[in-house]
Amino acid sequence: MPELPEVETTRRGIAPHCENRTITQVTVRDGRLRWPVPGNLAELLEGAVIHTVDRRAKYLLIGVSSATVAGSLIVHLGMSGSLRVITDQSEPLLHDHVELALDNGIRLRFNDPRRFGCWLWSETPDQHPLIASLGPEPLAPEFTGRMLYRLSRGKKTPVKSFIMDNHVVVGVGNIYANEALFKAGIHPRRAAGRISLDRYNRLVNAIRETLSAAILMGGTTLRDFVNSDGKPGYFAQSLLVYGRSGEFCPECGHPLKEIRMNQRSTVYCSKCQR
């Protein structure tokens, strides 16, 4: 599943082509996504101007307005979705379900083989049920070790599950949780309520470092993910522990172990992480 860095990479890739451009045509080839694409999407958007392409957690928020409407498209890539900037006359592929044609000749094309993504419309996206209860962004100033320390008091939840809870902080997916916990030296099964403020400060720094590096590298290479220019990300080549079970720890040389937590692969070093 595309995680926060993949979505941020997509946002940065499409924004320069879309912002301040007028939508000339909306084509919905198959609206049967995770939630149905609004039937009046073309009526809402054709003639409107895209002002912003923002991101909240793993949702892209495409802000548009016209003389009659103002709001945002809420786009989620789901399990296998991608947004591509089409500059030629290439024909749509089998799973190219939604397309926006812009006044600069570019088309923004949404491909989603598994159809777990979404295209929704909201005049108040911050209040939309998918957005309203989300925690802070992991790269925002309000995400701090003290915040994690305060929220974790009394919790027996494993710290890996705690930081992957979108109500606590958004965008720390499985791959990046593995990497950040390794960098911070924290065992993924340790109870969230038994971690000190100092260690949470280290964990926040590790989360920021890991996600920032992944964004710069274009996101983690996943089977179904492609950037908006069609090229995969390359961060997977520099992962320290995820996907490396049985290999030697890059810090101490001890073999890395793998366990399952909430049906997710969890790789750690039993000597470095306590």
Tell me, what's the pLDDT at 236? 58
Supply 165's token pair.
């809870």
Tell me, what's the pLDDT at 219? 59
The C-alpha R_g of the chain, in whole angstroms, comes to 20
Distance CA 184, CA 177 (A): 10
CATH dotted code for 145-268: 1.10.8.50
- Kindly report, as residue ranges, where domains of CATH 1.10.8.50 are found in the chain: 145-268
Q: Give every CB contact of residue 150 below 8 A, 6+ residues apart in sequence.
A: none
Tell me, what's the pLDDT at 231? 54
How does residue 217 score in pLDDT terms, banded at 50, 70 and 90? confident
- pLDDT 10s digits, 121-163: 999 999 999 999 999 999 999 999 999 999 999 999 999 999 9
Q: Is the pLDDT of residue 225 over 80?
A: no
107 is in an annotated binding site: no
> pTM higher than 0.85 for the full model?
yes
Distance CA 97, CA 115 (A): 9
Q: Which amino acid is at 253?
A: G
CATH superfamily of 4-130: MutM-like, N-terminal (3.20.190.10)
Residue 203, CA atoms < 13 Å, CB-side half-sphere: 31
The set of catalytic residues is 2-3, 58, 264
- Kindly report, as residue ranges, where domains of CATH 3.20.190.10 are found in the chain: 4-130
Q: What's the whole-number average pLDDT of the chain?
A: 92
- Quick check: 117 and 147 in contact, CB under 8 A? no
How does residue 6 score in pLDDT terms, banded at 50, 70 and 90? confident
Tell me, what's the pLDDT at 16? 92
Distance CA 65, CA 50 (A): 7
Cβ-count burial 194-222 (b if 16+ within 10 Å, e if not): ebeeebbbbbbebbeebbeebbebbbbbb
95 is in an annotated binding site: yes
Q: Using the 8-state DSSP alphabet, how is residue 238 labeled?
A: G
Tell me, what's the pLDDT at 220? 55
Q: Give every CB contact of residue 27 below 8 A, 6+ residues apart in sequence.
A: 42, 98, 99, 100, 101
- Quick check: 30 and 81 in contact, CB under 8 A? no
Supply 216's token pair.
């710069």
Q: Is the pLDDT of residue 228 over 60?
A: no
Q: Is the pLDDT of residue 43 over 90?
A: yes
114 is in an annotated binding site: yes
Contacts 24+ apart (CB under 8 A), 243-251: 243/267
| Dihedral angle computed from the Cα positions of residues 247, 253, 255 and 256, in that order, rounded to the nearest 10 degrees | -70
